[in-house]
Chains A and B, each alone.
Chain A
């Protein structure tokens, strides 16, 4: 009751027509789920007819059940937004809480989560800028007289990118409103399996009761806090896209796709960029492909410091940062100075402030991620989690969106379909793009043995590279098939221009169970890079030269 009174006080501005006592009166539950859903469905059907009737909202609320909401989603990123909008479309009463904790450097952003603000969107746009940088060099070969060095203005690019991001933030706000999802700019945590506590920036508290809770708070870049100077002087991918000035000579620490993508676009716009790698690049990806990606970057002008770990970062009186690192093989220490140091040493889930321990929501102790079932359920009933926050899920926007929508359908009782996390394609937007779907060669070998798989491969030369006189040594395609039977395709890997656009259709064919002969039966599209996939015919086992010649 106490909680409810507090709710009454703080919630008035949010839901002026709410009748808070209902939620407590009905808590404990006489309504069955299906009854509840029936009412909701009836309301849904009736909505059009009753449109404009005064008092409808009161009525709705009265019947919405023993809780304020059917669903409260914590986290307004790709997954959370998709889930909340979908649930609302299905007639559920939904609120979504989103709150961005500023970075150590003070960077903050609005609704939309990592993808929109500090991930996919700004990184792809900056990658496009870098590709244009390469295009300028190519254009000389195509007959344009260009100045020897072309100046790039960071502020112009960053401002354009940031404006686009802001327009997306706004778009998400409008969509939530259109779809009748209550948006609350509050930091959410769980009080129990039906109660969410929201905290505003000013410290004001709001209590929301709900039938179901979905946690989709994603993750944030990690800082290596044990390294002196790391937090004070370093930035992460949460800052880079929002910098007002070019980061200058930059050291990127880490070799995940985030690290390589950032280093790639910084190099592409003409900045002196170095990547420091402790062990391997693109861990978890096919390592032959990872090698091609980094080889291309080396040729592209990105410097690499292999097998090294940073020891400390000191700010010199000149304002530049002195980084001390040690070579893990020789043990020797090295120093160099940089204008910026970007940590890309992994991402950590945002689970700490959610109050999960009190509720007994089980986490993976090592990763800190929430343990989930195939239906995204946690160890606590009525509490679900998906996206980057959940253990073992790919950290990708489209999987979060799809999983979120399917979860909404299940919570609304509309379907029992589960998310299929197999054959999820992904693309790394490094200077030479790398797209893949299915298994890496290592993983295929581990599952079926070296004799159980047949690997078709080809080194090809994109037509756009020929006149531009660009080295195509890293443009490569690998199709991993079962060796026996119909030669079902297990994995498909592609490095080259437009890899993201190339791989999507193939990922669908894998989804449909494509075999090697399905590739052969499809007529190529000439002259494209993608046609090389359906022309592939040299096996690794044969030892023949896989270089494509002629049309």
Chain B
């Protein structure tokens, strides 16, 4: 019913566009069956929608093609529902602290079902907001899968209809990588972060595979909400591309939070029994090369693969368009988001660089300004992008790691400031968690090129410091800033 309605709406408005366009491009009778726009966006996620809306604001006749729900990964299976779950997990942590602060809340029962219903309702609400925003901006929403055709001029086909524009933006994002049953027998019995958001009940026993931020966040949420959780990582620490200080601390915090960490381990096979999944794990002894230990985790209700993400390019037929991709399928773009094919651009996760919503949004908007406002230099600066991991406690990081700073500046030109302390919130709780902070400074003027932290409140602390670091702040600027007492963030400006 809903689909029919959308189709009909689509049909009516497509006709409208055709009429308008036909008048303006009457010499192109051969493409009369092709609907023409000024700007065509493939993918209605963060980057695509932001680019489309900005282009429409600047007067471009714009369409967005989306095969699933508007809002993309962030809204449907990423940042937003993830943060809702993290907030729920934070409440679970508070439960331990209530009695220390004088509240009597013993034996509170948790209902995953209630939480999921509320979360889904909120996400649907956002989907509707996105739809309304597009409608208000007079942007055509086309529901369906886009595929580039063989036409001379870049054109895509959706639901059997051809659509084209002089500027086509690919913002199809990515999806969790999966292993085939050939690679790991029974791998398909597991889920990914997409499946996590479909779980109807809290799994009693979970196994997460991966050491990246998604694995860390998923493991943290499940464990904190009461699932017995194991995390299987190939080496000895999580978040290995983060500063070593953070990587080591986060690994420790996961264990402090009761997560059963399997280092130097990989899943060998998965099988299904009537009591759940049996996950067979092989653990290597890093000292003795050929020494392997095989173990089995039984009665697993949720096996979650968080082993990376891959770009959504299959089915787009970009191969025949002369749009270059890297070995992992990411679309290669220059600093202005141009692909190797003129008239085709790409932003966001599909490019494989800084997979973050605000990055995609900013890149999409910058592109719109370049294409439709004549701002030739409009491009996103990908340096010093702040990012937060919603672990327990959260991590905030911006700029270079110590290792990166040493590699590019030499050890003698890098100065490190570090501190760790117990946040005041934990002064009177029996549950304790440290806050750690680190500044990476370079040169005689001690320019701050990296800031890394993990602790209560670090998620909200980072943004303002990111502005200052982007401005080129030095350690002296940190020292010259008066603290706000009592906060955790003040430790950054009182570091010695």
A interface residue numbers (CB < 8 A to B): 115, 120-121, 124-125, 128-129, 132-133, 135-136, 138-139, 141-147, 150-157, 160-161, 163-164, 269, 396-399, 401-402, 420, 423-427, 435, 463-464, 466-467, 497-498, 500-509, 511-514, 518-519, 521-531, 533-534, 549-551
Contact = CB atoms under 8 A, between A and B. Distances in A.
B426 to A, nearest CB: 10
Q: Which 9 A-B pairs have the closest CB atoms?
A: A505-B464, A506-B464, A530-B463, A505-B465, A157-B102, A398-B483, A504-B489, A143-B115, A160-B428
Contacts of B431: none
A155 B465 CA distance: 39
A397 B471 contact: no
Given A142-B88, A420-B480, A501 B466 contact: no
A435 B489 CA distance: 13
Contact of A533 (B119, B359, B362, B463): B463
Contact of B74 (A142, A143, A503, A526): A526
A150 B103 contact: yes
A506 B471 CA distance: 12
B428 A528 contact: no
11 contacts: A128-B425, A142-B118, A144-B111, A146-B108, A152-B102, A396-B482, A402-B483, A423-B481, A504-B489, A530-B463, A530-B464
Given A402-B482, A525-B358, A505 B428 contact: no
A153 B104 contact: yes
A312 B23 CA distance: 83
B187 interface: no
Nearest to B456: A501
B114 interface: yes
Interface residues on B, range: 35 or more
A155 B459 CA distance: 32
Contacts of B104: 150-153
Contact of B482 (A150, A424, A467): A424
Contacts of A523: 356, 358-359, 362, 380, 385-386, 466
B103 A426 contact: no
Interface string B461-493: 111111110111100011011111111111011
Nearest to B126: A550
A500 B480 contact: no
Most chain B beta carbons < 10 A, residue from A466, A498, A504:
A504
Nearest to B465: A505
A143 B489 contact: no
A150 B114 CA distance: 20
Nearest to A464: B87
A132 B94 contact: yes
Interface in B90-148: 91, 94-95, 97-105, 108-115, 118-119, 122, 126, 129-130, 133
Contacts of A269: 102
Contacts of B461: 501-502, 504-505, 530
Interface in B374-428: 380-381, 385-388, 396, 424-425, 427-428
Interface in B342-383: 356-359, 361-362, 380-381
B80 interface: yes
A153 B108 contact: no
Nearest to A496: B460
B353 to A, nearest CB: 12
B246 interface: no
B477 A511 contact: yes
Nearest to B489: A504
Given A505-B461, A525-B466, A144 B102 contact: no
Contacts of A426: 484
B272 interface: no
Contacts of A147: 105
B460 A530 contact: yes
Contact of A551 (B95, B122, B357, B359): B357
A420 B489 CA distance: 20
B428 A164 contact: yes
A145 B463 CA distance: 35
Given A467-B84, A505-B461, A132 B101 contact: yes
B102 A507 contact: no
Contacts of B99: 156
B489 A120 contact: no
Interface of B: 46, 71, 74-75, 79-80, 83-84, 87-88, 91, 94-95, 97-105, 108-115, 118-119, 122, 126, 129-130, 133, 356-359, 361-362, 380-381, 385-388, 396, 424-425, 427-428, 457, 459-468, 470-473, 477-478, 480-490, 492-494
Contact of B466 (A128, A153, A155, A505): A505
A222 to B, nearest CB: 23
A551 B94 contact: no
A424 B71 CA distance: 40
B489 A528 contact: no
Contacts of A164: 427-428
B74 A551 contact: yes
B109 to A, nearest CB: 4
A402 B496 CA distance: 13
Nearest to B428: A160
Contact of A500 (B102, B118, B481, B484): B484
Contacts of A500: 484, 486-487, 489
A530 B477 contact: no
B484 A435 contact: yes
Contacts of A145: 108-111
Interface centre among A161, A399, A505 (most CB of B within 10 A): A505
Nearest to A78: B485
Contacts of B109: 144-145
A511 B480 contact: yes
B110 A501 contact: no
Given A133-B103, A160-B100, A160-B428, A551 B46 contact: yes
Nearest to B472: A512
A305 B413 CA distance: 61
Nearest to B473: A512
Nearest to A499: B460
Contacts of B118: 141-143, 467
Contacts of B115: 142-143, 467
A427 B478 CA distance: 18
Contacts of A397: 483, 485
Contact of A427 (B74, B470, B484): B484
Given A164-B428, A502-B463, A504-B493, A128 B101 contact: yes
A500 B356 CA distance: 25
Given A125-B428, A269-B102, A525-B462, A144 B483 contact: no
